[in-house]
Structure 1
């Protein structure tokens, strides 16, 4: 005779079946519904911390589920919630109002399929190597404006931005605060190196793969997760 896990009563009756076909029971004394020998388990805080670390490496989500011995459904729900909760604002060290120099660039990847490109706009402080601006979206004037808006106020007031010749920058950045340079000048070397790091560490951004994001929210969340981790690692 099954016992109620809530009140230990044996006054229980069968109450249909759950999604996987197992017999469901209901306690007549306290109303609790339950199954015997449930397969679902609660993942520990240590498991979640381990998954958080694995999300910062180029590992398939299915592989994370196998390594951590969790179901793919639980893993996906956990990842969805984590990406949704990530702050979409850069966290950088405080700066004085003085001349600042940033390098800006854009890189692309896919969401859903290879016909749907999303562009990652980035701004990097060449003195501290911090990512000080980030936007994920369209490759147009609106994208450039969102990158500009993502910069902390001190950068919008004091920074000179080195960019490529993409015309959207000239529509947003003032002439005295904007310098368009070719790759041969080396003025974009730091941000291009970070772009390479980002592609090497975030699986969603690898071009020749079937692992690109299926959800825009997760694509954006994965980028923000790594950027927060990267900036935090610079101060250690």
Structure 2
């Protein structure tokens, strides 16, 4: 069981900034760890894939920013919408940008393939959070 989970999405790109790649993930506030993540477009389908990975965890309180798709997907659940309560996951977004050059907005390092982009970020999350 997860008492408080923060959910957020992080922008990245592959090859050119017009080829956006989004990382959706959930962060356990108490354990200070990433619980699940998925890559894809910024759509309800990608959010649905993340929610299906999170269903076994029985999250009590969801904390998100004001993105409208979170509100529609979390209807009927205890859902707090405030930037104030997503500070930890936003800080984690910054840590990812600092540790992985390919996530920097203005960088010479960037991913050239979707497969490699997903594997590098997934491997980093695996080492830092899943082991």
| TM-score, normalised relative to structure 1 | 0.52
DSSP 3-state at the match of 2:5 = strand
| 1:176 and 2:67 aligned | no
Q: 1:178-232: per-residue Cα shift (whole Å, max 9, x none)? A: 2221x2xx20111011101111111211110132111101111111111111115
Matched residues, number: 131
Counterpart residue number, 1:166: 67
Counterpart residue number, 1:72: none
Q: Which runs of 4+ in 1 moved over 3 A?
A: none
Q: 1:57-109: per-residue Cα shift (whole Å, max 9, x none)? A: xxxxxxxxxxxxxxxxxxxxxxxxxxxxxxxxxxxxxxxx4x61011111101
Task: Give distance in 1, aligned partners of 2:8 and 2:59.
Answer: 19
Counterpart residue number, 1:37: none
Question: Which structure is higher in strand share?
Answer: 2
2:116 corresponds, among 215, 218, 224, to 218
Q: Which has the higher contact order (CA 8 A, sep 6+)?
A: 2
TM-superposed deviation, 1:142: 1.1
What RMSD in Å do the two structures reach over aligned CA positions? 1.7
1:191 corresponds, among 82, 89, 92, to 89
Matches within 5 A, 1:109-120: 109-120=12-23
Unaligned runs of 5+ in 1: 1-96
1:125 corresponds, among 3, 13, 28, to 28
